[in-house]
Structure 1
Amino acid sequence: MTASPDLPRPDRRAAAALCALLGSPEDLRQPGIREAAEQARDLLRSGADSDELAAGFRALDTLLRRTGDARGLVNGSRGGEVPGITPHIKVALCPGPAHCDRVARARDLLPAPHCAVNDTRMRKGRLGPAR
Structure 2
Amino acid sequence: MTASPYLPRPDRAAAALCTLLGSPEDLRQPGVREAAERARDLLRSGADHDELAACYRALDTALRRNGDARGLAGGSRGPSVPGIAPHIKVAVCPGATLCARVERARDLLPAPQCAVHGTRMRKSRLGSAP
- Within a 5 Å distance, the mapping from 1:44-63 to structure 2 comes to 44-63=43-62
Please tell me whether the aligned partners of residues 38 and 55 of structure 2 are also in contact (alpha carbons under 8 angstroms).
yes
- Equivalent in the alignment of 1:21: 20
**What's the TM-score once normalised by structure 2's chain length?**
0.56
Unpaired runs of at least 5, structure 1: 80-131
Identity of aligned residues (%): 83
Q: Aligned to 1:30, what secondary structure does the other structure show?
A: coil
Q: Tell me the matched-pair count.
A: 79
Residues 3 and 71 in structure 2, CA contact (< 8 A), matched pair in contact too? no
User: Helix, strand or coil: the match of 1:75?
Assistant: coil
Q: CA deviation at 1:75?
A: 1.7
Cα drift, residue 20 of structure 1: 0.3
Q: Compare CA radii of gyration and give the structure with the larger one.
A: 2
Q: Secondary structure at the match of 1:61?
A: helix
1:2 is displaced (CA, Å) by 5.8
**Alpha-carbon distance in structure 2 between the residues aligned to 1:46 and 1:78:** 26
Call closer, same or farther: CA 1:3–1:36 in 2, change over 3 Å.
closer
1:77-116 Cα shifts (integer Å, max 9, x gaps) = 248xxxxxxxxxxxxxxxxxxxxxxxxxxxxxxxxxxxxx
Specify every segment of 5 or more residues in structure 2 that has no aligned partner in the other structure, as ranges.
79-130
What RMSD in Å do the two structures reach over aligned CA positions? Answer: 1.9
Deviation of 1:3 (Å): 4.7
Q: In 1, distance between residues paired with 2:14 and 2:71? A: 13
* Consecutive aligned runs of 4 or more in structure 1 exceeding 2 Å deviation: none
Using the size of structure 1 for normalisation, the TM-score is 0.56
